[in-house]
Every structure is written in structure tokens, then in C-alpha cells.
């Protein structure tokens, strides 16, 4: 690692922008084509109205659901077809999860950012395959990892020639079925030289807290996002649904589409204030 902070530019969007935070937002999992396009269009419109750089996120498969009975998504082929249509219709950068090396080639032809899920963040072969794809790589820090240990993950990616690296904090395991957010982690990870995103919705998740599904504490999304921006984070990550109570995955910790603009507007005002007082 060079010790120099590197901004990451993806399809016209800059992570590590000096003037604003970047928004990664979308669906936990693709439910169907029309729904995905509707959510993406609403998110783009809201971000454009606020002047926020925006990247759309949706997963074609949630491979780590609590229960065998849980909805996982439409799968690779159909999911990528839907994401390709979103990108074509809305001209926004796309982020999606990958779970194995075999998915990298197909996903890299559609997505601008390949996301390594938190549970897979130490999988060397997956990291190297993603790094060699030519896409930016967003690595979610595992709930079991210390922030300083992310330097090893960066070294793996850099060893394969990747310089478009983004790190995401999503909380750390605190006892059973619970996560906490340590704001020191954001500072420590950013000192490693790459943009850091705070995942405000997964950080309020209660993993497997409802037995066969995860619970969540939606009321803490905004306070934690505010705290992260006060620390000086490069982006905020939100999963959004027009009716979280009906979402097929992670509804308990998703924000309602109806409340999104108000939340982002408040976060934006705080972010501007924080940036204005930096030395």
C-alpha cells in the first residue's frame, strides 16, 4: 500500500469526492423487473434533485439467508438481465454481489462495482478474481474482523492489479443476534488509503434475530448515518423499499422510499457542515 489516498471513479461517480458523500442505494435483492426499475428510477430522481452522486445496488442472489425457505432472488442470468436494463435505461453505475469466482466474468460485463459480501471478505480466490475483472471492488468488512486487518484484504486486491478499491463498514458482531457500529473503524479503514462507505441499513440488522429471518432496528439508521458523516465517511449505503414490511429480504432494516429524500436532505446538510470545518 502506497499510503496515498486514492479516489475511485466509476461510471462518472467519484468515491472520495472532496465536496460530498456518495450514495449507494437500492434493493437487498431483486424481486422482479418492474419493481427494480421503479426503485432505481425513484432513487436516481431523488439523488439528482439533491445533487448526490449515486450508484444503484441490487443483488441477484442472497446466498447467505438464514433459512433454506427464504427468498434468494432471481438468480444470475435473470438478475443480470434486469441490472443491464437498469443501466441502459437510467445510465447509472451498478453494484452487485458476487459469491464465487465463476460469477465474476458475467457480472463484470454488467456491473461497474463487484461487491464482496462480508462473510466472504477473506476468500482469497474470490478477491483475486474480482480484482482481475477490471471493475471496481467494494469489500464489506466482515462482522468478525478488526478494521486494521482490512489492510490484508487491500494487499490481496492490489497484488492482482486492482486500484479501484472501496471498503464498507456494516457493524461488528456483539454477542448473539446483534451488531454494533464502532465509528473508530471508519477512521482506521480510511487511513489505509481508499474510500470508506458506511452501510447504515445493514448496521442496524439483528442477524437471524427472528429465528428464520433477520430482524432490524430501523429507527437507528439515521442516527448511525449521522455519526458516520460526522466522522468523515466517503459514502452512505442504504437499502430501500417502497414497503419494507413486504420486502422479500431485509425489510426490517430497510428504509422506506417515502422517507428517503428527507433523510438524505438532513444527512447532506450535516455533511456540508462537517466538510466546512475540516482543517
Mean pLDDT of the chain: 94
- If pLDDT is split at 50, 70 and 90, which confidence band does 44 have? very high
What pLDDT shows up at residue 275? 94
Q: Which domains does the chain have, with CATH numbers?
A: 8-276 (3.20.20.70)
Per-residue pLDDT at 217: 87
Q: What is the pLDDT of residue 269?
A: 97
Helix, strand, coil % (nearest 5) of the chain?
A: 40, 20, 40
Nearest Cα neighbor of 207 from 186, 230, 178, 228 is 178
Alpha-carbon span 190 to 54, nearest angstrom:
20
- Residue 212's pLDDT is 60
Q: So what's the pLDDT on residue 210?
A: 66
pLDDT tens digits for range 250-265: 888 999 999 999 999 9
Q: In this predicted model, which residue has the larger pLDDT, 133 or 3?
A: 133
pTM as predicted: 0.95
Does the pLDDT at position 75 exceed 70?
yes
Q: Residue 207: what pLDDT?
A: 81
Residues 126-177: tens digit of each pLDDT: 999 999 999 999 999 999 999 999 999 999 999 999 999 999 999 999 999 9
| Cβ neighbours of residue 112 closer than 8 Å, sequence gap 6 or more | 10, 11, 55, 93, 94, 95, 135, 136
Residue 279 has pLDDT above 60, yes or no: no
Residue 1 is predicted with a pLDDT of 46
What is residue 179's predicted lDDT score, i.e. its pLDDT? 93
Residues 6+ apart with CB under 8 A from 258: 242
Is the pLDDT confidence value at 67 over 50?
A: yes
pLDDT tens, position by position, 171-222: 999 999 999 999 999 999 999 999 999 999 999 998 866 666 667 788 999 9
For residue 3, pLDDT beyond 80: no
The packing angle between helices 257-276 and 33-50, to 10°, is: 30
Q: What is the pLDDT of residues 85-122, one digit of tens each?
A: 999 999 999 999 999 999 999 999 999 999 999 999 99
Amino acid at each position: 500500500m502506497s499510503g496515498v489516498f486514492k479516489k475511485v471513479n466509476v461510471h462518472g461517480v467519484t468515491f472520495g469526492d472532496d465536496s460530498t458523500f456518495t450514495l449507494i442505494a437500492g434493493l437487498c435483492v431483486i424481486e422482479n423487473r418492474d419493481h427494480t426499475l421503479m426503485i432505481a428510477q425513484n432513487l436516481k430522481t431523488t439523488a439528482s434533485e439533491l445533487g448526490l452522486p449515486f450508484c444503484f445496488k441490487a443483488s441477484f442472489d442472497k446466498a447467505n439467508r438464514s433459512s433454506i425457505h427464504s427468498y434468494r432472488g432471481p438468480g444470475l442470468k435473470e438478475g443480470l438481465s434486469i441490472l443491464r436494463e437498469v443501466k441502459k435505461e437510467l445510465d447509472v453505475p451498478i453494484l452487485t454481489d458476487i459469491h464465487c469466482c465463476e460469477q465474476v466474468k458475467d457480472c463484470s460485463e454488467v456491473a461497474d462495482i463487484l461487491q464482496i459480501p462480508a462473510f466472504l471478505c477473506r476468500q482469497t480466490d474470490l478477491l483475486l478474481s474480482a480484482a482481475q475483472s477490471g471493475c471496481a471492488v467494494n469489500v464489506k468488512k466482515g462482522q468478525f474482523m478488526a478494521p486494521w486487518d482490512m489492510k490484508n484484504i487491500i494487499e490481496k486486491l492490489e497484488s492482482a492489479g486492482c486500484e479501484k478499491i472501496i471498503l464498507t463498514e456494516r457493524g461488528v458482531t456483539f454477542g448473539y443476534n446483534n451488531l454494533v457500529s464502532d465509528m473508530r473503524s471508519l477512521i482506521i479503514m480510511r487511513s489505509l488509503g481508499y474510500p470508506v462507505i458506511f452501510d447504515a441499513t445493514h448496521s442496524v440488522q439483528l442477524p437471524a434475530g427472528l429465528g428464520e429471518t433477520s430482524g432490524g432496528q430501523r429507527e437507528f439508521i439515521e442516527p448511525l448515518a449521522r455519526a458516520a458523516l460526522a466522522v468523515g465517511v466517503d459514502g452512505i449505503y442504504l437499502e430501500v423499499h417502497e414497503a419494507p414490511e413486504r420486502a422479500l429480504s431485509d425489510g426490517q432494516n430497510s428504509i422506506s422510499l417515502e422517507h428517503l429524500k428527507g433523510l438524505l436532505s438532513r444527512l447532506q446538510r450535516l455533511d456540508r457542515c462537517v466538510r466546512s470545518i475540516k482543517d
